[in-house]
Amino acid sequence: MTRLAAFAALALLTLLAPALAQQAPARQPLVLNDATVAAVRGDRVGVLVLPKGKPPFPAVILLHGCGGVTLNMDVWAARLKAWGYAALILDSFAPRGIDVVCGQIGRFPPRQRARDAFTAAAYLRARPEIDPARIGLIGFSHGGSTALAASVERRVAFFGAEPFKAVVAYYPYCPEVAPQLASDVQILIGSDDDWTPAPRCADWLPRYADAALHKPLLKIYPGALHVFDANSPARLYFGHHLGYDAEAARDSFKMTRQFLDSRLRPGAPHE
């Protein structure tokens, strides 16, 4: 190859690189059954935590962020258990050999990952401990964007799934379009989030008419950063600021519990 030809080939690859990066590889669907969902953490697809009391229980699926399952997912599972919910921590990455997708969303787009949420819900509905009519979804960051994707009516229909009764998205990357939603949605995000900007969500909501059946709810916490609900030291992660905000976290927990209870446990007593 001549030097000129090599230069031309390199230039072509440079031009094509952005487009190629957006072509996400096909992902095999997760398989959820008694052999792949553990009662304790292991090298499995999910971990199911059951509350005290008499089944069947309402259940909530937890979707981790772009860095995979973290300790915050265990904290959330314990929190949901205390509220009377079964909690399924779903690992979308490790079973596929994925480490992180931070900064590389094209590796596994939320709209594609939404299938995992529907698969997990179908698995829960088949378990005798779970009330099949009372299943919700909470996602964080990339998982929050996935939760929003799983609330879209046409995506529910595409996967032949049942809509979630309640969807909570913590600091998601809100879309520009306003598709028809099949679920009640609540979004919780910080005003100073420099990874998933709150103004995107603020601009998104007015696109839904007040009379819309599933108009999303939005709470923006002044001064809060990305991952404001996780009690861990402030840090830089992939060039973005992460930080705990105790006041915002407490309020978000209260709002999330009320949101879930009103749709999954109506009449449930609150402490």
Q: What is the pTM of this model?
A: 0.85
What pLDDT, in 10s, does the model give residues 59-69?
A: 999 999 999 99
pLDDT tier for residue 43 given thresholds of 50, 70 and 90: low
Name all domains of the chain by residue range, CATH numbers in brackets.
33-263 (3.40.50.1820)
> Are the C-beta atoms of residues 187 and 157 closer than 8 Å to each other?
no
The conformation of residue 193, written as its DSSP 8-state character, comes to -
Task: For residues 28-46, give the mean pLDDT.
Answer: 74
What pLDDT, in 10s, does the model give residues 231-247?
A: 999 999 999 999 999 99
Q: How far apart are CA 151 and CA 164, in angstroms?
A: 7
The pLDDT, as a whole number, for residue 1 is 45
Q: State how far the alpha carbon of 101 is from the alpha carbons of 24, 46, 65, 106, in Å.
A: 11, 19, 9, 8
Q: How far apart are CA 119 and CA 30, in angstroms?
A: 7
